[in-house]
Amino acid sequence: MSSRTASFDELDRKIITALMANARTSFAEIGAVIGLSATAVKRRVDRLRETGVITGFTATVEPSALGWRTEAYVEVYCEGAAPPRRLAEVVRNHPEITAAMTVTGGADALLHVRARDVEHFEEVLERIRTVPFIRKTISVMVLSHLIPDSPEAGATQAAPE
Amino acid sequence: MSSRTASFDELDRKIITALMANARTSFAEIGAVIGLSATAVKRRVDRLRETGVITGFTATVEPSALGWRTEAYVEVYCEGAAPPRRLAEVVRNHPEITAAMTVTGGADALLHVRARDVEHFEEVLERIRTVPFIRKTISVMVLSHLIPDSPEAGATQAAPE
DNA sequence: AGTGAAACTGAGTGCGG
DNA sequence: CCGCACTCAGTTTCACT
């Protein structure tokens, strides 16, 4: 669970790349590619999960197919000192907020919001604006994606450079 | 592959929710929860993949554990009419750009960038700025995440509302 | 579309190098 | 840390309802 030393070699990196491409690749198949037995691959994957490098396995879904057709980023401006903990509370109460972070620049926080349509998005925005310490919001609607959309939490490749 | 009719019922939605929570949940286990046999669940999953609702299965990875410790959003301003196709080309040539989209507001595009550190990020930024038709960029650095980080491409729950 | 059984493939574990 | 061999669980296909 805890990511302590977290030292991993070239082999681990290749395993991660394989699992990011397809989380259902069998250990034997990965092993065949990188030159290791299925057992060895399994043990390394277990270790990567224990050390917190791999946090889970999820299905990637086309949001529009599920009825989420509107996407936007919302810059949030707070009154005085913005307490990240209270913001986190607010954010958790709105399922349409799929990501939230504190940022540099004029705004205190940046939210990623998914909604059914523009009407639904407006409703979410109104809900956010009722929060006492939120002073102002600026919305940027997403028009189209220029790349197929890689996972927010993971990098395109297993290692920088 | 093609997402045509893509009509799915309550059962499909529950299957999607289960697989988003854990892509390795067995068909039998999902079936036990929603009241279906493993065979029936498998066929529905196969159909959901064919119709493009489920686009894949991936391992979620802690970017910082892989050496990606710097994250930012970059607003891109272009000269005259910004051609999305040419922007898409540019974006594909930089592995540090993990998401790119056209947006409303002053900027023409918004990029999500991951880099090793601030030095690396600066280098990426300089590379982006050499593109002829890119006039200006505004960077917003991510300081901390307020929620564990849900996948960019998928919604928190399987259906709006 | 759903079920249940058969055949097969991959996961998980103990032991030895 | 790795590989081998074994067991068992999960996947996949098929015949049938």
Give the mean model confidence (pLDDT) for residues A59-85. Answer: 92
pLDDT score at B160: 72
Q: Taking CA atoms, what residue in B is nearest to A149?
A: B99
Are A3 and B65 in contact (CB < 8 Å)?
yes
Task: Provide the pLDDT confidence category of residue B83 given band limits of 50, 70 and 90.
Answer: confident
- Length B58 CA → D1 C1' (Å): 27
- Stretch(es) of chain A classified as CATH 1.10.10.10: 10-51
Asked if residue A67 has pLDDT above 70, the reply is yes
Q: What is the mean pLDDT of residues A68-74?
A: 97
Instruction: Write down the mean pLDDT value for chain A.
Output: 90
Q: What is the CA A96 to C1' D3 distance in angstroms?
A: 49
| Percentage of residues in chain B having pLDDT higher than 90 | 81
Assign domain B63-141 to a CATH class. alpha beta
Q: What percent of chain A has pLDDT over 70?
A: 88
Mean of pLDDT values over A82-103: 92
pLDDT at B7 over 50: yes
Query: Per residue in B118-156, pLDDT tens?
Result: 999 999 999 999 999 999 999 999 999 998 766 554 455
Q: How many Cβ contacts (< 8 angstroms) between chains A and B?
A: 266
Q: Is the pLDDT of residue B4 over 90?
A: no
Instruction: Write down the pLDDT at residue A81.
Output: 79
Tell whether pTM > 0.95: no
Span B86-103, average pLDDT: 94
DSSP 8-state assignment for residue A32: H
**Which of B3, B147, B154 is facing A100, going by the closest CB pair?**
B147
Q: What is the pLDDT of residue B104?
A: 97
- Confidence bin at A90 (pLDDT 50/70/90): very high
At A50 the pLDDT is 96
Q: Residue at minimal CA–C1' distance from D5? A: A39
pLDDT averaged over every residue in chain B: 90
Confidence of residue B1 (pLDDT cuts 50, 70, 90): very low
Query: Where, residue-wise, is CATH 3.30.70.920 in chain B?
Result: 63-141
Domain covering B10-51: architecture: Orthogonal Bundle (1.10)
CA–CA gap between residue A29 and residue A37 (Å, rounded): 9
| A78 backbone dihedrals φ, ψ, rounded to 5° | -110, 165
> Is B2 a residue whose pLDDT tops 80?
no
More confident residue, A149 or B107: B107
- The more confidently predicted of residues B26 and A156 is B26
Mean pLDDT of A7-22: 94
